[in-house]
C-alpha cells in the first residue's frame, strides 16, 4: 500500500449531505462528538480509509481480534438533509499524510454530493474554562454569513492562530473545491494530554444541533462518554505518539490547537 | 528503485498454501522459527523482496561477498497443503514502508493462492518468564473460531495492546483481503535487545506444528539456533538500528512488542 | 493531495515576463520586496500553488476565515516586458519538497514564457551592517555578463557558499531549462530570527528597479513594511518552525543563508 | 522534480565499459580517485543526475555562478574497453534516495552496456594506518574469482560488516541485474571528518590500474589532490551534513564505513 485509499462498503443515496469530522485530538472533543452521534443515531458505516501515513501497527480488542488503524465514514438520515460522520483511530503521523488523507476524504465527499463540512477540535488553553466556550472558524466569507444567520458568534476574542491537522486541512482544501466548511473548537484545559472533556463535547453537540437541525438527545452523553473512555484509553498511547508526531512545537506551551 | 518490488525466481504450484512470517524483532523469535523451518525442511527460495524502505547498505559475508537487505520467500510441500516461509534481514525503517512491504507481500500471497497467514513475534515483558508463554491474536472472528478448534487459548491475560511492524500490519491488511491470519507472540525478557530466545522459539514451533500439521523435528533446534546466532550477530547492529527506527516509543518501558 | 499542484485562476498574456520570487526567509527580505511590488503596482493574482510539503495547518485571519498555506503568483504589466511576482506563506518543510515546488514553478514559468528569473533572499551576517549590502549570484556565465552590463558588481567579498531553499533551487533548476536567473541577497543581522529589515528590502528593490526597468515608487516603503509586519507576525510562528525544518544546521552559527 | 532523473548530454559509443564510482565519503577516497582519473585522462562528461534526495541548495563558485548538486557521468576511452567515471557533489540525504539514485545509475549503466562496476570508498579505523591498506568486497562468487585472478586478496582480516551508501547499494542492486561489481575500500583514520587522504587514494588507484588495465600516471597525484582540496573544502560543510544524515549511527565509534 503506497498511498491512502478509501474502500467503499456500500453506496447509500444521500440528500445534500453534511460531513461532520471528529478525529482524535486534544481533549478528544471531535472523537467523542462523532462517536456519540454515531452511537445515539445508529449511523451506519459505509466506507473505510486506509493510509500508510498512520502508525504501522494494529490494535488488539479484548477478544484478541486485531484492527488496522482506519478512519471510518458513517451515514445517518436527517429530516431534509443527510449526514456523513467521519471518525477513526488516528490522524496522519507525517505532515504530507494530512494533505493526502484530507484530499482522499474530499474525493469521497464529492462522490456523495457533500455540500457542507463541519470539523470538530479542541483548543488547549492551559487552564480550566469556567463555562464551555466554542470558537468557530470558516473557510469562506460565504460560510461565515451562512453560520452567522444560524447564530454563530465569530467576534469572540481568542488566541487561535492556526488549526493543525485534519480539522484545519479539510477547511483549507474544501475551500478550493467550493465547499463551505466550519471548524468548531472547544476550549479545554489540554492536560493531561488525552483526558476527555465531556462538558465541552456536549457544548459542541449543542451547536451542531442548532446549525444542522440534526436532533441528538444529549441526556445520555456523560454515560456514553464514560463507556467510550475505556476504548479510548486502550488506544490513548497511540494517540499520544500520534500527537507528538504532529504537533510541530518545541515547547509544551506552543501546543495550543490540534484537532 | 522508487518502490518495494518482489522478484519471483520460480513459480512452484502450491496447494492452498499457508504463509508463515518470521522477520527480525524482539527476541528474534520470528526469525529463528522461520529459519529453523527452512533449514530443517529444506525449503526452497522462490522470491525476493527489495525495498527502498530498508537501510541503505549491504552486508558482507565471511567470503567478502555483499548482499542487499532482502525479505525472502521459501516454499515447502506439506501433506495436504503447502507452506510459504517469509523471512529476511530487516523490516522497514520508515512507517510507510511497513504498509508498502506488507501490501506487496499480500499481492504475492494472492498470486500463489495463500489461504491462511501465521505471523510470529516476540513480546517483551522485562522479566524472565517461568515457562514459555505464547499469546495469540487473530484478524477476524472467523479466524478465532478456526484456531480455537485447534486448541489455541485466546483467554489468557496479557498486556499486548498493539502489534507493531510486519507481524501486525500483515494481519490488518490480510483482513481487508479476506485472508484469515493469526499472530503468535512468544513472551520473552526483551533485553539485551537482540538476545535470541530458543526456548520460546521452540514453544512457538510446537504451536505451529499443532495448528498446521507441518511436521518439524525439534530435537536439533538448540544446536541450529546456536549456528544461526553467529549469522544473526553479524547483522545484529543493523537490527538494533532498525528497531530503534520502528519502535516509536519514548521510554524503554514503552517498547513491549515489535515483531 | 499527493503532490504539489498549481491552480491557474486566469491566463493573462504576458510579454517575455520576468519572474521575481520573494518567499519567507531570514530578514523577510524576499517576502517584503515581493509584497511591496504587489501592493504598490496593484499586481493581480493569477495562480496558486498547493503542496503537501507545507506544514499541515491553516491560518486564521482576523475575520475567522481560514487559509491554506499557498504560494501565489501575481502579474503586473511593464513597459516592454511583464512581470510575475511569486510570494507566499511558506517554503517547503521537507528537503524533497523544495525540488518539487521549484520544479512546478518552472513548469508554470515555461507555460507563461518566462525568460528571466530574479530570486530574493537575506544573508545573515550576525552583525548590524553599516550600509545595506546586496550580494548577487547567477546561474550561468551568460546571466553574469547580462547583469554586469546592468551594473551588478559580482566581485564583492562575501561568505556565501550555498543558497538554501527556493531562492537557490530555482536558480539551479532554471539553469537546466536554459532560463537565466539571478539571486539578490541582502545582508542582514539575522536575529531576532524573523525581524523584518526594511532598509535592506529597499536596497534590493532599488537593484531590481535598475536591472528590470520596473518603476516602483519607494517613498511609501517603510509605512507599508510596518503594515505588512502585522500580517507577518501573525504567521511568524509558522515561519520559525518552517525555518527550523529547512535549516539543516547543527549550530546557530551555521545558519547563514536561507531564502 | 518528484524523482531522481538523469539528463544525457551526448551518447558516446562505449566498448564493454567499466563503471567506476567515486562519490563523497569518509576520507574523500572515492571522490579524489574519480576526480584524478577525470582530470588526468581528460574524461568527458556525458550525463548528469539530479535528485530531490540531495540537500535543497545550490553551491556558489568563485565566479558567483551557482550549481545544483549533481552526480556526473564522464567517459574515457581505454585500450580494449572504455570507462564511465561517476562522481559528484553529494550522496542522498534520505535512506530511500540511495536506492533511487543507484537504481537510476544502473538504468544508465544498462543503456551504455556496462559489464563491470568498481565502487570506491573509505573505511575509518580511528587510527593512522602504517601503510595504505585496501579492503575489497564483491557482489558475487563470480566477481570474486575474476578479481582473485587479477591479484586481489580477499583473505585480509578486517572489521567491515556493512557498506553504507552508493558504494554498497550499487553492488547490491548490480547483483540482481547480473553485473559483476567490486568495492575497494581504503583504510583511513577517519577524522577530522572530511580530511582527504591522498596516500590511500593513490593506493586505490594502483589497484584500479592493476585490475582494469587503465593507464594512469600517478606522479601528479599529490599536487592534484591539493588543488582538489580547495574545491572540496568549499563543499565540505555540505558533505558534513550529508554524512550526518546518512550515518544511521548513535555513537561516533559506530561510524566506520561510509562511501
- B89-137 pLDDT, tens digit per residue, is 899 989 899 999 999 999 999 999 999 999 999 888 888 778 889 999 9
Among the listed residues A181, A156, A187, the one whose alpha carbon sits nearest the alpha carbon of residue A169: A181
How far apart are the C-alpha atoms of B65 and D137, rounded to whole Å? 6
Query: What pLDDT is attached to residue A252?
Result: 34
ipTM for the predicted complex: 0.89
Q: How confident is the model at residue A167 (pLDDT cuts 50, 70, 90)?
A: very high
Domain C16-258 classification at class level: alpha beta
Whose grid coordinates read 485509499?
A5
- CA distances from residue A83 to A19, A44, A112, A146 in whole angstroms, order as listed: 6, 11, 10, 18
How far apart are the C-alpha atoms of C255 and D12, rounded to whole Å? 43
CB contact under 8 A, A63 and B250: no
CATH numeric code, B5-258: 3.40.50.10900
Given D95, D163, D254, which is nearest B58 (Cβ)? Answer: D163
pLDDT for residue B73 is more than 60: yes
How far apart are the C-alpha atoms of C139 and C161, rounded to whole Å? 14
How far apart are the C-alpha atoms of C94 and C107, rounded to whole Å? 20
Query: What pLDDT is attached to residue A98?
Result: 96
CB contact under 8 A, B2 and D250: no
Of residues B24 and C248, more confidence is placed in B24
Contact call for B and D: 3+ CB–CB distances under 8 Å:
yes
Running DSSP on this structure, what letter comes out for residue A256?
-
SS3 C243: helix
Q: How confident is the model at residue C160 (pLDDT cuts 50, 70, 90)?
A: confident
How far apart are the C-alpha atoms of A202 and A197, rounded to whole Å? 9
pLDDT for residue C181 is more than 70: yes
Q: Tell which of C172, C177, C259 to mutate to test the D interface (max D CBs under 10 Å).
A: C172
- D interface residues, C as partner, C-beta within 8 Å: 1-2, 7, 48, 50-60, 63-69, 93-94, 234-235, 237-238, 241, 244
Averaged pLDDT for residues A31-36: 92
Give residue D27's Cα distance to chain centre.
12
* Entry pTM: 0.90
- B168-195 pLDDT, tens digit per residue, is 999 999 998 999 999 999 998 876 555 6
Contact in structure between D46 and D10 (CB atoms under 8 Å): yes
Chain D residues near residue C95 by CB distance under 8 angstroms: 52-56, 93-94
- D55-103 pLDDT, tens digit per residue, is 999 999 989 999 999 999 999 999 999 999 999 989 998 999 999 999 9
CB contact under 8 A, B66 and D168: yes
- C43-102 pLDDT, tens digit per residue, is 999 999 999 999 999 999 989 999 999 999 999 999 999 999 999 989 998 989 999 999
- B28-62 pLDDT, tens digit per residue, is 899 999 999 999 999 999 999 999 999 999 999 98
Query: What pLDDT is attached to residue C126?
Result: 81
Q: How much of chain C, in percent, has pLDDT values that exceed 90?
A: 63
Averaged pLDDT for residues D28-47: 93
Residue D252 Cα, gap to closest chain C Cα (Å)? 16
Contact in structure between C101 and C82 (CB atoms under 8 Å): no
CB contact under 8 A, D171 and B238: no
C-alpha grid cell for residue A16? Answer: 445534500
pLDDT for residue C253 is more than 70: no
Q: How much of chain A, in percent, has pLDDT values that exceed 90?
A: 63
pLDDT for residue A249 is more than 70: no
Query: What pLDDT is attached to residue C258?
Result: 42
How far apart are the C-alpha atoms of B6 and C218, rounded to whole Å? 62
- D168-196 pLDDT, tens digit per residue, is 999 999 998 999 999 999 998 876 556 67
Averaged pLDDT for residues C129-137: 89
- CA distances from residue A235 to A62, A166, B136 in whole angstroms, order as listed: 12, 19, 19
The H-assigned helical ranges of chain B are: 29-40, 95-111, 141-149, 166-176, 198-212, 221-234, 236-246
Tally C-beta pairs within 8 A across A and B.
99
Query: What pLDDT is attached to residue C237?
Result: 61
**Subunits with 3+ C-beta pairs closer than 8 A to D:** B, C
Q: What is the dihedral of CA A229, A233, A238, A241, to 10 degrees?
A: 100
Amino acid at each position: 500500500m503506497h498511498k491512502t485509499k478509501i474502500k467503499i462498503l456500500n453506496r447509500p443515496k444521500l440528500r445534500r449531505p453534511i460531513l461532520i469530522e471528529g478525529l482524535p485530538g486534544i481533549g478528544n472533543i471531535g472523537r467523542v462528538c462523532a462517536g456519540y452521534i454515531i452511537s445515539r443515531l445508529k449511523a451506519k458505516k459505509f466506507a473505510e480509509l486506509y493510509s500508510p501515513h498512520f502508525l504501522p501497527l494494529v490494535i488488539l480488542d479484548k477478544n484478541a481480534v486485531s484492527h488496522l488503524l482506519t478512519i471510518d465514514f458513517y451515514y445517518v438520515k436527517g429530516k431534509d438533509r443527510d449526514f456523513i460522520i467521519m471518525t477513526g483511530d488516528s490522524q496522519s503521523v507525517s505532515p504530507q499524510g494530512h494533505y493526502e488523507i484530507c484530499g482522499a476524504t474530499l474525493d469521497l465527499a464529492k462522490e456523495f454530493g457533500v455540500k457542507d463540512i463541519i470539523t470538530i477540535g479542541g483548543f488547549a488553553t492551559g487552564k480550566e474554562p469556567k463555562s464551555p466556550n466554542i470558537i468557530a472558524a470558516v473557510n469562506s466569507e460565504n460560510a461565515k454569513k451562512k453560520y452567522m444567520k444560524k447564530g454563530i458568534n465569530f467576534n469572540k476574542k481568542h488566541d487561535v492562530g492556526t488549526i493543525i491537522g485534519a480539522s484545519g486541512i479539510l477547511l483549507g482544501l474544501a475551500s478550493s473545491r467550493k465547499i463551505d466548511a466550519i471548524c468548531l473548537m472547544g476550549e479545554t484545559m489540554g492536560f493531561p494530554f488525552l483526558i476527555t472533556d465531556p462538558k465541552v463535547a456536549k457544548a459542541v453537540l449543542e451547536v451542531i444541533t442548532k446549525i444542522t437541525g440534526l436532533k441528538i438527545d444529549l441526556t445520555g452523553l456523560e454515560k456514553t462518554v464514560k463507556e467510550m473512555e475505556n476504548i479510548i484509553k486502550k488506544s490513548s498511547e497511540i494517540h499520544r505518539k500520534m500527537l507528538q508526531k504532529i504537533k510541530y512545537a518545541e515547547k509544551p506551551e506552543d501546543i495550543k490547537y490540534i484537532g
